[in-house]
Structure 1
Amino acid sequence: MATITNKMLLATAQSVRQAVKGELNVLTMPDDQIMNQIYATHVHADEKFDADSLFAVTENILKRATLLVDNVVLGTQAHYENVEEKAPKTSFSPPLCTLKALSCEMACKAPGEEIAHKTTMSILNKLSNYSWEAKAALTLAAFALDYGDFWLLVQLHSSDQLAKSMGILRRLLGYHYFGSLYDSDVLHLWKRVSIEVLKKKNVLLFISSLDISMDEISVLKPVYDGLRTKDQYKIVWIPVVEQWTDELRKKFEMLRSKMPWYIVQYFSPVVGIKFIKAEWNFKNKPIVVVMNPLSRVEHTNAFHQYHTNASSSFLAISGIGTGISDSGFSKKIK
């Protein structure tokens, strides 16, 4: 047993020396050799560290930063008061210098798998006296420190001169650039558009309550994907809600974030609901009303046909012609 242990230690020491010299390629290195390198960095010290408090603070940062990202990029209105905060122990004192050192290791290195491995080993060496749980908590906290700081500057960047100057040093980009990183169709959801975009178009009115599942929404995804390059076709979601509440508004925001097509937004009673129920037999289950460019209804409910045939049979299912009048469409959704 002692012989095996000595061989393992010898192999570990040799692999570490080779890694330092750059003689090993991490992409071809066996898993057990990588694990040996990792274990070699760990010193079973008796150091006490409050990893739970650090993780609680880190979780608070990441939760709020994620909401801030949604606000800046997608334009949603997050409710920060609903974020549950976890309190660290009053005696907790974070190791700021260690966090800064780890942050520098992660942020100031070039990309690439081999460099990432070297960075990982460097971080593990810096954290050799911590428990494995503390190593994980400290590394995540170092990321959260930069991530939270970055998005806080983004939030203040447009109105605070100090934040603007700090943003220059942090290479912070403007709002317009963040928007360009995301799919233009998704951003299009958050723009208020005129009814003119539907004029002389074939329109699919996707009508449902807010009690709709992701599976039901996904029914129209292949249809949308098949038609997104065809300008003469548009999909519009009309949510049917008798009485709006704060909870229903939150649910509406969540649902619309899942839909890449046009959406009718309203938070007051709509007369058209009676028409939808009476003329199109809407009973809280999703329906798809197909209208041609002349504002004539070609199909009062093609939802189940789309469910079974998807976008490949769109034209056959719809039977639509060529050309929606502004008055015809607007009258039906008011």
Structure 2
Amino acid sequence: MQNDILIKKLLLTHDPDGRRLDSETMLLAVGNIMFHASSIIVASNLYSASFQKNDITEIETLGCSEPVGFVITKIGKILCKCYGEGDINSRITSVFDLIGEYSWDAKVVLVLAAFAVRYGEFWQLMQLYRGNTLAALISSIKLLPCNLKPLKLQIKALSLLVKIMMDVAMYIIKFENLPLQHVELGNDVLIVTKSQIYEAAYWITRSCLACFSQVTDFTTKKHEQVYSDSTIIAAWELSSLAYRLSNICSNLRRQVDQCHQEIEKNLYEKLLNLAREEHIDNQKILTLFFSSKNYLPLKDCSTEVKVGVSELKNNIVLLLISKPQLLNPVEIFLLFQQTRDHPLNERLRESYKIVWIPLPSSDTWTEAEESSFNFLSDSLPWHAVRKPMLLTTAVVKYIREQWNYKDEPIMVALDSKGKITNYNALDMIKIWGAKAYPFSSSKEKELWQDQNLTMQLLLGDINPLLAYWVEQGKNICLYGSENLVWIQQFNDKITELKRAGLQMETIYVGNRQIGEHVKQIIARSGEINLSDPLSFSSVQFFWLRLESMRRSKLRLGKTPSSDYVLAELSALLDMDDGEEGWTVIGRGGSTDVIRLQGMQQVMEFLRENIVNLRFSCAPRNFQLDPDFVVGSCTHSYFVPSRENERLSQGTVICQECKRPMKKFVVYQP
């Protein structure tokens, strides 16, 4: 009955005004202090590994009228009064009056922080005084005990109580982070859980008051008191509080787990229903998707500015879902180039947003995954979930089951009304970049509908110089091999043909399995006379785009037997160098693209087309004519003067050897 009256008094002080505190990070900071403080005691193993973190970032606040540190100091002043001085409950009420505007999780964490400061200061002096002159002087002024062994029982009880208080606080934070504002929870379970949280907040504050008093008592005990029964009595008092809080913790854990399960179930059902409904904008679905109490769940990675889902209103949203490692660096750079560097993006920049949602491989985050996320989220040019660890289980389950996420990166496109228009727009963006806007499945089909195999398709915008050559309609020859002898011979012969009038740009692209050998060949481009070498990253871009093209075609239900472009892409991707290299020759947007294998095919084809590459009469997969004449040919063909005028601008192919014929002028008297 008395407890009920006390709880009601605390509820009268509770008047939240919307201010927010990052309670979880604050509790981790408190845990760090406790862990380090207890490192010289045998009870250090009482501390959970979850508190043993060294990477605590800035503790966020919102709407606080005064610095949180100032509030913690005020709480400390109330707690530091002698334990028997005045009525305990009156002092507890004073503490809750001071923090009435905060949520329940923030209240308990602020109280714990006030005690942690005092507790940490005490142990810091105890650890330093033997080897630090300043610490020794302060210890002597404060009359700190030199020998802690007689206080071992009391310190162990204190450490246990602190650990249990933090465990209870964690469950309060877990409850407060539930998206209760978006998903309904049964009244019965909600009422019971809240009443237990009120009780837990009271006993955490009362326990902190006792702990504060006993730490202060360490500095005032006389020698004879240290060895008296007072130490045992003090340890018993702390153990009693620990026992009571342990029972509260067990009950609260059951209640919070029950709430969590019910919320997750309801949230999953609500996500399913929202996906089937029509909306006026994307805010409802996105708010539910990032439905924790995190008031600014996203951040602009390039500026480090925290943003809410309202930032995405009226935009097409691309949700990039991957492991915390995201993609390999080359794929990231390609995606960056296709979404940021293209001139078209200047016009579309405010029309769509990319949001990175990293998901761990298992149910829990590893340190390596957290480290990878923290590094990449500070480096990317897009938006990202600020605290992906807070994503609800229902959202993760929805992504895996409804969007078929299997740990391979996907990019789900939502239109401005929140409707899913493409379950994976990643490949089409790699292929076409901003030209794929608005990134829907129908747009992907439209882009492929009239798309033939051209140099423009193969090269895209992976390199500004290549884009210029394609635009100018230049003849382009892509070639690949890992055979240095073949590459050298190929370049030597191309140089000879260029002297003879061949107008063609040649580009080395290695092969699909880009290894260290290809990298070395590109690095030695000057030595081996590569005519127009690409950078290693551009070569990687080239093959990544080809792979994306094949996946995109296959996803649309195409097969190599029914789709010529897919067949050629597959043949190119599966090309085996062997001892011979290969080439692909074409011009700009022309559909006459020829794939050749081996030196003989390449050279004979180029000799035939040395004056003016005309592909319209040539087969796309060039094969030598079985009647091809080897060696020199003596066949001649006389053209009358009138016909000679008509053919003077073209090339005459010999009917015997199938090669271009040399022109001579014969004068008849």
Q: TM-score range by the shorter chain?
A: 0.3 to 0.5
Larger relative contact order (CA 8 Å, sep ≥ 6):
1
Name the TM-score, length of structure 2 as normaliser.
0.20
Give the TM-score taking structure 1 as reference length: 0.39
